Each structure stands twice: as C-alpha cells, then as structure tokens.
Structure 1
C-alpha cells in the first residue's frame, strides 16, 4: 500500500493533514515543556479521526512533518526520523501552524535558550554511536517550497547560539577524550588536551585539541543539540575551510539528546564531504559607489 494514498487509495486531504499536524504539534509542545508523553495514545485517538488511514500511514506522516520542521529550522518530535518525500500541502499546513501556535513558539524558545550543565556520566560505554545513515535527501523542489514560505523560524539557530549548551558539550567531550586516551594507554597525552575555544578564542576552526594514541594531533569541533541525531547544525565558513585544510586530523563530534541521554557520533574529514551544506545568507557591506543613472 502507498502510504501517501492510504487504504482508500486517495491522497491525503487537507482535513486529514490538518488533524495530523495538530496532533504532532500537541505532542511536540508536551515534549518541549518536559511533560510525560504517550505517543501511542495520541496516535490511537488520531486514528479514530482518520478512518481512511492506518497506524503505519499516520506514523509515516509524522516523519514527513519532522522533515518539514527540519527545513523550517524548528524542533522535531523525538522518535520520528525525517522522511523527505512530503507534499506541498503539508508544507503549507505546517507553516500556518508555526505562524499561529504561540504556545509552541514560547515553549520552543524557552527550550532552546535554557542553560545546560555538564552531565555526570558513570560510563561512556554507550556514549559513542554510529552516525545516522540518510537514505534519502530532500529534493530541491521541496526545499524551495520551504525557502519561499513566508514563515521563518530560527529555533535551531537559537540553540546553536546557546553558549551554555555549547560549553557543556565541549566540557563533556574533554572528559570523554581524557578517558579515551587513558583507556588506549596514552595517559601522557591526556594531560595535554587543550580547550582551544576557551584559551585561544573561536577563530581557530575547532574547539578542542586532543591526540590519537600515537601522539598525532586531533582537531575536534563540537556541535551540541538537545534533539535527535538527525537535527541540522550550523558551521561557519572558517570551520568548513579548516576541515578541508586539515582533513586528515579534523573530527566533528556531534552530541545529541544532550539534556536527557547524551550520545555522540563522529564525522572525520572535510565537513563538505560528510554533510549537505546550505548557504543561509550573505554578509553585505555598502561599497559607497553610486549606481548608474537610468
């Protein structure tokens, strides 16, 4: 069965899409407010409103909504990894909801701007995981639907500017690196780990200087989020350039689910080789030259 068509063989209607987006946002508000969330019960109630759909189709539509939220720069509902073959109607309904849902707006801003503390982990045994494997990418046409939408949110960008969260992530990585080197029999290098972003500033292209067990330098850039592993992150042109120049030693450590159960995956080599990069603006300086007369 085609999940976009449903059991009746008909495309999703506006009423069905609106009902599903409403349910998604209700769960997302609860997530951002830290309330206990029973997704199964929410989906059961939604299923009663959508007799032409089954549970599998509804959950896939939630994944479509996550993909749209991703492109809007908003948080996703945990547990629903983005599925990128969404329809224009979904973009419109999600955009309208983002523009009108003040309760979500307040909860989302509070969530991304809340300070963070360095978590105390008894063990790093399950901390390092594999990087998420993206099976599909957003088609350019679908990305253009979002770029042209009048609604713009910057929740994830605000989170990237949360200095408390960023610092907490870097300090946790410092601890992880020290333990890693101890376990690899390179204790002498653990004492030489340097918190570069704090000692030298933010312009070096990386946050932490660490080492491999043989003493080779490891340049680590840390990106931290409270959300899913698939959540987009922001990199500077300087970081991208440095990762290309020092590709043999550059490591991007992506921390996710930081406030609940911190985990991390690692990308090595140039950022541009591991990630799809999107330009989100230009810096413009007035040149002081008069335009030609018409």
Structure 2
C-alpha cells in the first residue's frame, strides 16, 4: 500500500514537470509569435527566394564560363536549362576535357549549410550516375555579399556522399482511389 502512494506521488511529480515544460514551450511560442507581423506577404517572400536562386544560377554560369575560358567548351555552356524545372538541373557545362557536367545550383544569402533538393533532382542525379555522367551541386553561399566573399562548394556525388545526408522532407497526402 505504501508503494502505491509513492508511485502516485512520482506520477504527480512527473505530470507537474510535464505541465511546466509544456507551459514554458507555449509561452515561448506565444512570445515568438508576437514578434511576427500579422500579415506576412508569402508571395513576396517566395519572389525574393526565386530572385536569390536566379542570382546564384547567374553566378554559377559566370563561374563555368571563367573556368572554361579559352577552351572550345566555353561556348557550349547552357544555362537555359534553369528555365525548366523538369530538367532536374540548372546548367549544362563541361570539364576542360569535354566531359558533360549537369549542374544543380543551390543558393543562400548566408553560410547556412542545409538546403532543399527535390525528388526530381535526386532522380536526375541517380540517372546521371547510372549512365556514368557527372551530376554536380554548386552550393553557393553569401550570394548578397561582395563577390570575393561568395563561396562555391561543389558537391560531386550527393547520392553516395559521406558528408551529406539526404532526408525526405515533404509527403503528399491523397485520397485512396477506392474510397471514392
């Protein structure tokens, strides 16, 4: 009988601790929420993100042209691929020996290392790898800084990387066909 009293007391203490933790989280959330404006313009935010991406693609294109300067491959660099997201890459370029490079550009305004990649881009990387072709990700950071501070990190194999982990992020929810 004494054991039950002790167990109930422990349970009450744990419940109180959980309530304190929950209330501090809610307080933090409410405090944080109060700092955001009521009317965030998500369309404008998305527009800005698109412009940052285009700026990174332009930087990568110039980077490739500079790399291939005075080679026959410089004129073949194609950045029109970025206009069609179904390609799974942004720029078609070449090594100095003529090897094709399929380049996906991921850009940020700071040194943030995480980035998002679509399933189509992963599929394109796998397809290139299976054909023995090169799929590169140009991770461009600090794009809004002076040109000398912009960094380009080339990821040569995102599929088999020992440095990066690719995690599923989005899930599609749909109604089952037989439930109609």
TM-score in terms of structure 2 length = 0.69
Are 1:214 and 2:97 an aligned pair?
A: yes
In the alignment, structure 2 segments of 5+ residues that lack a partner are 1-20
Whether the aligned pair in 2 keeps the contact of 1:193 and 1:208 (CA below 8 Å) is yes
Q: How many correspondences in the alignment?
A: 146
Which one has a bigger Cα radius of gyration? 2
Higher fraction of strand: 2
Whether the aligned pair in 2 keeps the contact of 1:98 and 1:105 (CA below 8 Å) is no
The counterpart of 1:194, out of the listed 78, 83, 96, is 78
| Structure 2 match to 1:226 | 109
The counterpart of 1:239, out of the listed 98, 111, 121, is 121
Distance 1:100 1:177, change over 3 A: same
Q: In the TM superposition, what are the counterparts of 1:118-129 in structure 2 within 5 Å? A: none
Are 1:263 and 2:151 an aligned pair?
A: yes
| Structure 2 match to 1:286 | 175
Distance 2:51 2:170 in 1: 25
Whether the aligned pair in 2 keeps the contact of 1:251 and 1:269 (CA below 8 Å) is yes
Distance 1:176 1:278 in 2: 29
Q: Give the 3-state SS of the residue equivalent to 1:170 in structure 2.
A: helix
CA deviations over 1:218-258 (Å, ceiling 9, x no partner): 1100000012142x111011111211221341110001111
Distance 1:284 1:218, change over 3 A: same
In the alignment, structure 1 segments of 5+ residues that lack a partner are 1-88, 115-157
| Structure 2 match to 1:101 | 32
| Structure 2 match to 1:162 | 49
Q: CA deviation at 1:169?
A: 0.6
Distance 2:106 2:49 in 1: 11
TM-score in terms of structure 1 length = 0.44
Distance 2:30 2:106 in 1: 28
The counterpart of 1:253, out of the listed 131, 138, 144, is 138
Q: CA deviation at 1:97?
A: 4.2
Let me know the Cα RMSD of the aligned residues: 2.8
Q: In the TM superposition, what are the counterparts of 1:1-294 in structure 2 within 5 Å? A: 97=28, 99-102=30-33, 105=36, 162-182=49-69, 185-186=70-71, 188-195=72-79, 196-198=81-83, 201-230=84-113, 232-247=114-129, 248-260=133-145, 261-271=149-159, 273=161, 274-290=163-179
Runs in 1 of length 4+ with deviation above 3 angstroms?
95-99, 102-106
Whether the aligned pair in 1 keeps the contact of 2:55 and 2:143 (CA below 8 Å) is no
CA deviations over 1:98-145 (Å, ceiling 9, x no partner): 652357645xx78xx66xxxxxxxxxxxxxxxxxxxxxxxxxxxxxxx
| Structure 1 match to 2:14 | none
Q: CA deviation at 1:285?
A: 2.3
